[in-house]
Amino acid sequence: MQRIVFDAAGLAGDDAARKDEWIASLSSGYARLNADPVAGRPFRGELRIVLADDVSVGTVQGTVKTIARTAADIAVHNTDNLVLLCNAGAAPIRIEQRGRSADLATGAATMIRQCEPSWVRAGTDCRLLALQAPWSRVRARAASLDDHTMRPLAASSAALALMRAYAAVLLDDRRFRDAALARLVPAHLADLIAAAIDGGDGDAIAVDVTAARPGIAAARLGAIKADILAGLTSRTLSVGAIAARHGVTPRYVHRLFEQEGATFSEFVLANRLERAHAMLAAAGCDDRSIGAIAFACGFNDLSHFNRSFRRRFGTTPSAIRARGG
């Protein structure tokens, strides 16, 4: 996958120069666009894009009041892509295309076609999440796709929530480093876009979706893994608590991990051990005992920690500390 980050804060020159350069380069690796900055305010602009084959996930945020793709832009760079636009900010935004408009509250989304002129009107601050995929790829998964252009999709949609969670994982290069999974990203995103469109009324997605749309299951598992990692140091972390937070059953969580040839417990243990290894090797943790580090990483039993550590790394925690990694 290719990653693009373009932040106006890192550009040379004064505020006006940074604004002009950022706006002129907005289309880098994505699509030709025009941006209209908010007058009278210091300029902020950040573009993040992850490209995977013929699909992409991107965020645009900053003091931008309008983003437009005009007929002139299309004439230079025309692609028949579907773009799902989601309002990631606190203030409402308006999307316009085909003489229609969709007012999006926080978390809501709508679908446009990239081969036609469109406008995003954000007022004083823009925070936008965009998922882009070929129209034909998504249409193969959602036969009624043509009827959904410019229809608002409620923020409460379960499929939309999954899509946002999956996009967040992709955009965070500290969390997404799985080369094997990267090859599946285009299909996953197409599944999620189709599901968000089909389920745009906020109805819950059926739990057993792994066979029909594997991308939804992958998104669920990605969100669950991120939740686990966020609470990894808690010794009360459990599959029941995780399942309840994600609106599924513990058995379903186990099934998601089983599809990867692993278990919930193995994932938790492996990541706790990796965290403990990193702390033992870090100079800044010299003043903490091995037991304190084990407990800080979520272990309840020091003997279990020592046995598991030795199996995983082929040596003892004290040996790692002695040689500094």
Closest CA to 195 of 177, 218, 215: 215
pLDDT of residue 163: 83
Contact between residue 152 and residue 160 where contact means Cβ atoms under 8 Å apart: no
- Say how many residues make up the chain: 325
Query: Cα dist. 116→27, 71, 75, 99, 304 in Å?
Result: 16, 7, 10, 11, 60
User: Which pLDDT value is given to residue 84?
Assistant: 93
> What pLDDT is stored for residue 88 in this prediction?
93
Query: pLDDT tens digits for the chain (325 residues)?
Result: 788 888 999 888 898 898 888 888 776 546 688 888 998 899 999 988 988 888 999 999 999 999 999 898 888 877 889 999 999 999 999 999 989 999 999 999 999 999 999 999 998 889 999 999 999 888 888 767 778 889 888 888 777 888 888 888 888 776 555 565 677 788 888 888 888 877 543 333 444 444 455 667 777 787 788 888 888 988 789 999 888 887 778 888 998 898 888 999 999 999 999 999 999 988 777 888 999 999 999 999 999 999 999 999 999 999 998 876 5
The type of residue at 301 is D
pLDDT at 199: 58
Per-residue b/e over 241-275, b at no fewer than 16 CB within 10 Å? ebbeebebeeebbebbbeeeeeebeebbbebbbeb
Tell me how far apart the alpha carbons of residues 253 and 202 are, in angstroms, rounded to a whole number.
Answer: 22
* pLDDT for res 202: 35
What would the two tokens of residue 58 be?
Answer: 């991107």
Query: Could you please report the per-residue DSSP string of 154-209?
Result: -TT-HHHHHHHHHHHHHH-TTT---HHHHTTHHHHHHHHHHHHHHTTT-PPPPS--
Asked whether 252 and 243 are in contact (CB, 8 A), the reply is yes
Closest by CA to 124, choosing from 62, 59, 33, is: 62
Rg (CA), the chain: 23
Q: How many helices (H) and strands (E) does the chain have?
A: 13, 11
